Amino acid sequence: MKPADLALLRTPGVPSLSPDGRRAAVAVTRLDLDADEYRSQLWLLDTTGGAEPRPLTHGPRDSAPRWSPDGRWLAFLRVASTDSPGPASKPQLYLLPTDGGEPRRLTEHPLGAGMPVWSPDSGRIAYSARVPEAGRYGTTEGVPPEKEAPRRITTLRFREDNIGFTLDRRPHLFVLDPFADEPAPVQVTTGDFDDRSVSWSPDGSRLAFVSARHALRDTTLFTDVFTCTPDGGDLRQITRTRFSIGGQVFSPDGGSIVFLAERLGADGRDFVGYSGAVWVVPADGSAEPRALTDPTVAVTDQGTGPVLVTDEQGTAALVLSESRGAAWLVRVPLAGEPAAVQPVVGGQRQVTGYDAAGGVVVVAAADPRTVGELVAVRAGVEQRLTSFGAELAERGEIRPLVELSATAPDGYPVHGWLVRPDGPGPHPVLLSIHGGPFRQYGWGLFDEAQVYAGGGYAVVLGNPRGSAGYGEEHARSIKHAMGTVDADDLLALLDAALAEPDLDADRVGVMGGSYGGYMTTWLAAHAGHRFKAAIPERAVTAWDSFTGSSDIGYFFTEAYAGTDAAQVAAQSPLTYADKIDIPTLIIHSEHDWRCPVEQAQRLYVALKARGVPTELLLFPGEGHEMSRSGLPSHRLARFDAILDWWSRHLGG
């Protein structure tokens, strides 16, 4: 696989099913290298397999389709123009008749609209949208951002990577009639709050949403479920939890609300490694929430939230659960005590989106040969609906994902994978470290590993302690101890890979982004003799400055590194920069607010001043997610620079 093969990837979003379950709509995204932008369009699928998938829209950037309960309409988001500023360059809500016709634009929010959610009678649509303060973000004609009034900041939480300042553009809920001659969105919520994740009660009389409206919302991560009428009246707080709550949905009878949540420590900031869970609470808030899963089930919220199904076994929530590199769709019964979940879609793959209707479940799932295909499940029988990855797969460039296991010095088992290049060895080796750290490598097509294998490098991928998918003890073991057992695990997995006769132990590089960049720098300092060169990317290198410069620094540093100054310094890779002697390519984005560019600059200057062969590659206009969602030209330039670096220092 070559860098330009990114243009062959077709990535499906979250599918939406028609009420009878016979049809599904899904947005599919691809890179347009010639236009240097992303294209996405909606596809229509016959879940019975009676017709081939076909494009339903032509973009240029369509997403988030949602089928109306009466089956007659699709609401979706569209960016109509990628060239000019203004509302057309932001996602706006559109309406498309499912029996044919042209889509109709419904909104013109200056900062765009969020995912549409239909009322049960198909007469209204609810969604969230950021509301800019007067005079900001183009709301005053002729006043560019550099001429706006100064911002007076009085809170800790005031910005977010890939968005920018948030204190002057809070997300609020809106409701509109999509069939009015001139649809007029009604703002439902107001105030200095972030209101998200809206859902309707079955009778359409109330909205549920997630928000933090308590006095400590600036210094904690607690959120709660609220309800109100569709015009914003009768606001009620339903939960008073110590959780960070994700998506929520009413039960079919409207008597309960089912939601996803992650536990937090007593201070509201300790989020390290806690597994998510499914909870249910009376819709009037008359009782405390009740857990439907126990901590051994690692429920994760990837933006879909719970989807409820009712069958002969009763009503259950469909949610995602991570385990050993997989992400399964599982069934969680609403009745009874927490019990073992029932897999709906399992195996060596990663479900990324799902919906259910009419006795059918449709999922978007990645596996080692594709970034995502749609699969329908009826009565436990799977049927693949798409072949979006066929063109890339038919080229024969995708290298197999081979499981690895190792044992750390303390006897702890370590799990990972190896991607070998084609041809005989000995191959140079790259130890690639994921971000998070509460994330996981696993059973999906990882474009980076494939590109590096295409360049002639064997790639070692591992989930050391601190990663997701192996239980809370595994994930929390590096709390206030980063660079200890996680480093041991990574080196143990590398040793297990190097035992393979076709891998060259004398030509090894280390690389990673975010937490992976942290560990790359750490290993370069503490185990530099193991590596010929390093590439830390968008890395945390110094907790002291990260605390104040990162959008999440004030709580992330405390949660992972602690508050003791000596301990914080001891866990900062920059503290040991004088021990780094191997050539180092530092990659960063100029607009990264998650791991700000000063982290890269401090490391670069420390190494350069000592004469270490060091380069700094900076990408303008990009944030923390550049390697996954940055400009296509930047993503290709990044790959070219990385392959050039490894060619210079490891050969090929």
Residue by residue, DSSP assigns 210-273 as EE--STTTTT----EEEEE-TTS-S-EE----SEEEEEEEE-TTSSEEEEEEEE--TTS---TT
Q: Kind and range of the H or E element at 460?
A: strand 458-462
Q: Closest by alpha carbon to 456, among 484, 483, 421?
A: 421
> Residue 145's pLDDT band (boundaries 50, 70, 90)?
confident
CATH 2.120.10.30 range(s) for the chain read 9-145+156-301
> Residue 62's pLDDT band (boundaries 50, 70, 90)?
very high
Q: Which residues pair with 413 in a beta bridge?
A: 407
What percentage of the chain reaches a pLDDT higher than 90? Answer: 91
Parallel, antiparallel, or unpaired: how do β-strands 533-537 and 503-513 relate? parallel
Q: Is the pLDDT of residue 652 over 80?
A: no
Half-sphere exposure (Cβ direction) of 192: Cα atoms closer than 13 Å = 11
Q: How far apart are CA 29 and CA 38, in angstroms?
A: 7
Helix axes 485-498, 515-526, angle to 10 degrees: 80
Q: Is the pLDDT of residue 581 over 90?
A: yes
Q: Dump pLDDT digits (tens) for 411-421.
A: 999 999 999 99
Q: How far apart are CA 234 and CA 223, in angstroms?
A: 19
Q: Kind and range of the H or E element at 46?
A: strand 37-46
Q: Closest by alpha carbon to 426, among 392, 447, 455, 456?
A: 456
Q: Kind and range of the H or E element at 454?
A: helix 447-454
Q: Is the pLDDT of residue 302 over 80?
A: no
* Coil/strand/helix, residue 642: helix
Q: How far apart are CA 607 and CA 575, in angstroms?
A: 12
Q: Is the pLDDT of residue 191 over 90?
A: yes
Q: How far apart are CA 126 and CA 186, in angstroms?
A: 9
What order of strands is seen across the sheet that includes strand 224-228?
Answer: 196-200, 207-211, 224-228, 236-237
E strands, 99-231, where?
A: 104-105, 117-118, 125-132, 159-160, 164-165, 169-176, 186-187, 196-200, 207-211, 224-228
Q: What is the pLDDT of residue 146?
A: 87
Q: What is the pLDDT of residue 435?
A: 98
Q: Is the pLDDT of residue 74 over 80?
A: yes
Q: How far apart are CA 243 and CA 280, in angstroms?
A: 13
> Would you state the structure tokens that stand for residue 637, as one six-digit string?
């330039």
Q: Is the pLDDT of residue 141 over 80?
A: yes
Amino acid at 390: A
Q: How far apart are CA 26 and CA 9, in angstroms?
A: 15
> Residue 381's pLDDT band (boundaries 50, 70, 90)?
very high
Q: What is the pLDDT of residue 258?
A: 97
Q: What is the pLDDT of residue 609?
A: 98
Q: What is the pLDDT of residue 82?
A: 79
Among 223-227, 249-253, 648-652, name the one with the lowest average pLDDT.
Answer: 648-652
CA dihedral 66, 68, 74, 80 (to 10 degrees): -60
Q: Dump pLDDT digits (tens) for 153-183.
A: 999 999 999 999 999 999 999 999 999 999 9
Q: Kind and range of the H or E element at 75?
A: strand 73-79
* Coil/strand/helix, residue 370: strand
Parallel, antiparallel, or unpaired: how do β-strands 614-619 and 584-589 relate? parallel
Q: What is the mean pLDDT of residues 521-541?
A: 98
Q: Is the pLDDT of residue 340 over 90?
A: no
Q: Is the pLDDT of residue 85 over 80?
A: no
Sign of CA dihedral 519, 522, 523, 524: positive
Q: How far apart are CA 608 and CA 355, in angstroms?
A: 52
- Which fold would CATH assign to domain 9-145+156-301? Neuraminidase (2.120.10)
Beta-carbon neighbour count of residue 131 at 10 Å?
20
Amino acid at 566: A
Q: Is the pLDDT of residue 284 over 80?
A: yes
Q: What is the pLDDT of residue 49?
A: 86
* Coil/strand/helix, residue 337: coil
E strands, 267-387, where?
A: 276-282, 290-291, 299-300, 307-311, 314-323, 326-333, 342-345, 350-357, 360-367, 370-378, 381-384
> Residue 638's pLDDT band (boundaries 50, 70, 90)?
very high
Beta-carbon neighbour count of residue 324 at 10 Å?
14
Q: Closest by alpha carbon to 362, among 351, 350, 371?
A: 351
* CA end-to-end distance (rounded Å), the chain: 15
Q: Kind and range of the H or E element at 570?
A: helix 565-570
Enter the pTM of the model. Answer: 0.97
Q: What is the pLDDT of residue 142?
A: 87
R_g of the chain computed on alpha carbons: 25
* Coil/strand/helix, residue 452: helix
Place domain 399-650 in its CATH homologous superfamily.
Answer: Alpha/Beta hydrolase fold, catalytic domain (3.40.50.1820)
What percentage of the chain reaches a pLDDT higher than 70? Answer: 100
Q: What is the pLDDT of residue 528?
A: 98
* Coil/strand/helix, residue 458: strand
Q: Dump pLDDT digits (tens) for 466-522.
A: 999 999 999 999 999 999 999 999 999 999 999 999 999 999 999 999 999 999 999
Q: What is the mean pLDDT of residues 245-257?
A: 96
Half-sphere exposure (Cβ direction) of 534: Cα atoms closer than 13 Å = 34
Residue 547, CA distances (Å) to 375, 541, 564 in order: 43, 11, 13
Local structure of residue 482 (DSSP, 8 states): T
CATH 3.40.50.1820 range(s) for the chain read 399-650
